[in-house]
Copies of this chain bind each other. A is one copy, B any other.
Amino acid sequence: MDDAPESPTSDAPRPYHHGDLWQALVQAGLAILHEEGASALTLRAVARRAGVSHAAPYRHFADKDALLAAIAEDGFNCLSAGIRTAINSYNGDPVALIHRAVDGYIQFVADNADHMQVMFSGLLKCYEDYPNLAIAADRAYQDVVKMMQICQRDGLIALDDPKQQAFMAWSLVHGLSSIVIGQQFPVAEKTGLDMQQLTDACIAMLIRGMRAP
């Protein structure tokens, strides 16, 4: 009687075998992050939301951290998808490329603050224990590197190590978004600028800082 699974949305009787419970659990976790926040992300809540018993997840995840890793991995996939979209629609204007990529990143953080928390706030101690997660994080990073290489090729930034440039760009954008989103202090009120203006200022500074001499 404890923890009855919630009634399925459809009237059809839910089959005993779920089909793709792995995916359903990850999606349920994302929904909880959106609607209730990171502190509500428990294994039991995820199972409840997916409409299965709270023991069912153990068929698919070794423990809670494994589920968190899958959720974090999904987040990195979203980030790199956004960057890749920007790269794929590249039209020869590297400044526009950076704007599109950065705006995408910031938008993702704004829309998924609690998801970012799972990815970045040290909830998972050892990324090495989750190879798929490490790969996803690396892929996002490599996409940023690629973007830097394009900006180099087309003369926007200096021909320095693109890995280093990518890391600096990521740091700036990540810091920008996490300070604003985390609401540690009312940035708009303090700087007199809105998010878009702050973003644009950061991009301008970044490009100037990396510009080819």
Q: How many copies does the complex hold?
A: 2
| Chain B residues with CB under 8 A of A134 | 185
Q: Please, how many residues of chain A have a CB less than 8 angstroms from a CB on the other chain?
A: 48
| Chain B residues with CB under 8 A of A58 | none
**Can you sample 13 A-B contacts with CB below 8 Å?**
A113-B122, A121-B121, A121-B182, A126-B183, A127-B183, A137-B184, A163-B191, A167-B198, A168-B201, A170-B175, A171-B202, A174-B178, A209-B209
A residues near B (Cβ < 8 Å) are 38, 113-114, 117, 119-122, 126-127, 134, 137-138, 141, 161, 163-164, 167-168, 170-176, 178-179, 182-185, 187, 190-193, 198, 201-202, 204-211
A193 touches B164 (CB 8 A): yes
| Chain B residues with CB under 8 A of A127 | 183-185
> Distance in Å from the Cβ of A129 to the closest Cβ of chain B?
12
